[in-house]
Amino acid sequence: MKIVYYSARGRYSDNPRALHQRALARASSAVEHVWLADARYAAAFPTGTTTVAVDSPEAVAALESADVVVADNHLPRWHKRPGTTYVQTWHGSPLKRIHRDALNTVAGDERLALLDEDVTRWDVLVGPSESAAVPLRAAFGYTGAVPVTGYPRNDALLAPDAEQRRTRVRAELGIDEAATAVLYAPTWRDDDRSGGAPGGRLPLDPDRFTQRLGADHVLLLRLHQLVPGRARGQLVPGVVDVSDHPDINDLYLAADVLVTDYSSAMFDFALTGKPIVSFAYDLVHFRDELRGFYFDLHEIAPGPVLETSEEVLDALADLEGVTTECKARYETFLARFCHAEDGHAADRVLDRFLPAEVAL
């Protein structure tokens, strides 16, 4: 049996990574594992992993000889042979509109056309929750199976060793155990990939963060992979750029609070039970002109929805108050969007395509 994996433009990441690791733990040597990889991210792949270059003839050959294909985004054109199972995990619960649902969709977009073609090959689209499965199905015009399994990538957040992993990662990042680690993980904007505000300045200013909150707070800066430059010139003492860290689950566990905007990060981070602050400084533009939303952020957010950086800093200075005030909102959010997460999502997905005769 041959399983071929693809994630995030050739990275070892996300749901395919979690499924690969779990498959290695439970499957026999009768399973061959192959990754479509970009050489720029080769160091993140485990030693001994079989890889072929993305967008190469070898990648197409691997896909066309696979028994199972696991991906979290669209693939290069390939001919799917009879008997192959294509599992599409996607890469997040959608708050912002995606694919042809997005307000800025342009007729004739070749990238969207490529994804539409890819959708015709899907056999399974993984649903992280009942609420997320609805817009995912609609956005892609997908009529096949959408089992609500939870996201395999989130299993690590509920694993028995989560606390030990937190301690290890904080030590690796140089975060004192007594410090408050703030993970700032905004999404990207189709009309501005400079990092957020005009001139490339981050909406949550690192200098002001350090000035306002002091040395006992650390800002973990996690910019989206589609944002170039990484704003590294804005780093100051007390700010750590973790944009290239290979596993965001490490950062979720290491952090004490998440600041995001419209990223799917909030749906994953909520499993930690730690505070979430939504910094929605451009909500009206994003909602009405740029992308649009599937859900009303003010209605569903598990924490405060704030418009200015000073409001965000005030919230970070009083996390105990935020936790108390938003307790009911948080519980409602978990029930609606995280109900399928129990640490065993990878097994549920694997059970759909890994034959019993090759499983331990």
By mean pLDDT, which of 97-106, 149-158, 232-241, 279-288 is the weakest?
A: 232-241
pLDDT reported for residue 345: 98
Residues 119 and 192 in one domain: no
Percent of residues, the chain, with pLDDT higher than 90 = 82
Q: Are residues 75 and 190 in the same domain?
A: no
Tokens in use for 138? 């609609």
63 shares a domain with 190: no
Task: Choose among 18, 67, 46, 66: nearest CA to 357.
Answer: 67
| Mean model confidence pLDDT for the chain | 92
- Residue 114 and residue 207 in one domain: no
Whether residues 179 and 321 fall in one domain: yes
Burial zone of 226 (CB within 10 Å; 0-12 exposed, 13-18 middle, 19+ buried): exposed
Residues 208, 191 share a domain: yes
- CATH number for the domain including 285? 3.40.50.12580
Look at the block and give the residue holding tokens 């519980």.
331
Which of 36-45, 47-56, 64-73, 97-106 has the lowest average pLDDT?
Answer: 97-106
Does 347 lie in the same domain as 326?
no
Distance, in Å, from the CA atom of 71 to the CA atom of 87, rounded to the nearest integer, reads 7
In this prediction, residue 117 has a pLDDT band, given cuts at 50, 70 and 90, of very high
Whether 231 and 169 map to the same domain: the answer is: yes
Residues 243 and 190 in one domain: yes
Q: How much is the pTM?
A: 0.93
- pLDDT, position 233: 47
Same domain flag for 191 and 117: no
- The total number of structural domains in the chain stands at 2
Q: Answer yes or no: do 113 and 197 share one domain.
A: no
Q: Residue 24: which CATH number?
A: 3.40.50.11820
Predicted local confidence at residue 358, as pLDDT: 54
Residues with Cβ < 8 Å from 163, sequence gap 6 or more?
A: none
Does 81 share its domain with 110? yes
Q: What domain range includes position 262?
A: 160-337
Amino acid 202: pLDDT: 84
Helices (H), the chain: 14-26, 57-64, 110-119, 130-140, 162-173, 206-213, 248-254, 265-269, 283-285, 297-300, 309-316, 319-325, 327-337, 345-350
